[in-house]
Structure 1
Amino acid sequence: MAAMSDVLLRVGRLNYVWTNTESLLIYIIAHLLRVEKEAAIVVFLTLNTTRARIDLIERLSKLASTSPSDRKAILSAMSRLKKESKTRNKYNHCIYSFDDKGEISSTQLMRLVEDDKEIRYGKIEQMDAREIDLLEKSIAEIVAISRTLWAFIHASPQIAGEL
C-alpha cells in the first residue's frame, strides 16, 4: 500500500516534467520544418496527442534533408520519450483502488484487450514500494530526456535563436 499523498505527489511531478519536456518538441518541430517558433506552435497544437507529435518528429527526422547526426539524436530522444509515455499514460488513465485506510492499494488500467472469444480489461497492479520506485525512475528519465533535448536545442543555432 502507498500513502495517497506519496502517489499523488509523484503523479503530479510526472505530469509536470512530462508537460515541460513535451513542450520542447515545439523547438524540434521548428528545426525540422525550418520554420519560426510560432508556426511550430500551430503544428504542435494542431496535433492533439503526444503520439501524433512524436510520429511527426520521427518522420521528419528520417527525411534526407535531416543531417545524420540530427536524425540520430532526435530518434534516440523520441524513442526514450515513447518508452516513458507508457508510464505517464498508465497513471493518467487508470482507476485507483483504495484499502480500508484510504491508501492507494492498486491501479487498474482502463484498456480493452479483445480476442475472438472474450474481452478483458483493467489490468490490476499493486501500488507498492516497487511501483513507487518505478514511478521515481520514470520521472528521473523524463528529466534526463528534457536535458538531452535542451542540449540539442542549444547546440543548434537555428533553434537557439528562437529562444
Structure 2
Amino acid sequence: MTRLQDVLLVVGQLNYTWTNTESLLIYLIAGLAKVDKETAIIIFLTLNTTRARIELVERLAKMKKTPADCRKAVLAVTEQLNKQAKLRNKYSHCIYSFDETGTEATTQLMRIADGKDAVRYGKIEKLDDAEIKRIRASIDAITKINTGVWAIVDDYGFPK
C-alpha cells in the first residue's frame, strides 16, 4: 500500500469517526437542555462549528440545575473531544502533497500565525509513519469518547 493509500484510509477513518461522535452531542444537548431529540437536532444543526456545539454542551452542563456528577462526566467528555479536535481539524483543513510515486507525503496547514512582526502561514510537515500512528491513536481515543457519551446518555436517561 502506498503512502497515498495509507493517508486516504486513515484520514477517512478519522473523519468518519469524528463525525459519528460529534453527532452524539445531539443527545447531550437534548438531555442537558431538557428538550426532545428533534429540537436538539435543530439546535445542533443551527450551530455550524464543532467549537460552538461543544461550548453549548459545556455551558448547559455548567448550569446549576445539572447534577454535579453529570456535569463532571459531560465536561470530561468535552475535554477529550476538544483535545482530539485539534488533530482532526489539522487533517480536515490542510492541503496534502504526494511525490510522483505516492510514497512520500506532506501536509500544508491552511492557517495564519501572527507573530510579533511577521505573518506565517502554510506550515509544511511530513506525514510519516509516526504521524499515521498518531492519527490512529486519535481514532481510538475518539471511539472511546463515543462510548463515554453513550454511557452518559444511558446513565442519565437522556432522550435517544
TM-score of the superposition, structure 2-length normalised? Answer: 0.95
CA distance in 1, matches of 2:43, 2:146: 20
Mark the runs of 5 or more structure 2 residues left unpaired by the alignment.
none
Aligned match of 1:60: 60
2:30 counterpart SS class: helix
- Contact 1:105–1:126 (CA<8 Å) still a contact in 2? yes
- Contact 1:95–1:108 (CA<8 Å) still a contact in 2? yes
- Contact 2:4–2:105 (CA<8 Å) still a contact in 1? no
CA distance in 1, matches of 2:11, 2:39: 31
CA RMSD of aligned residues (A): 1.2
Aligned match of 1:97: 97
Aligned match of 2:132: 132
AA partner of residue 58 (structure 2): E
Q: Which moved more, 1:103-112 or 1:37-46?
A: 103-112
Mark the runs of 5 or more structure 1 residues left unpaired by the alignment.
none
Cα displacement (A) at 1:103: 3.3
AA partner of residue 55 (structure 1): E
Cα displacement (A) at 1:100: 3.2
Q: Report the identity percentage.
A: 52
Aligned match of 2:123: 123
AA partner of residue 48 (structure 1): N
TM-score of the superposition, structure 1-length normalised? Answer: 0.93
Counting only pairs closer than 5 Å after superposition, residues 23-62 of structure 1 correspond to structure 2 as 23-62=23-62
Cα displacement (A) at 1:116: 4.0
Aligned match of 2:147: 147
2:97 counterpart SS class: strand
Q: How many residues align?
A: 159
CA distance in 1, matches of 2:53, 2:110: 23
AA partner of residue 70 (structure 2): D
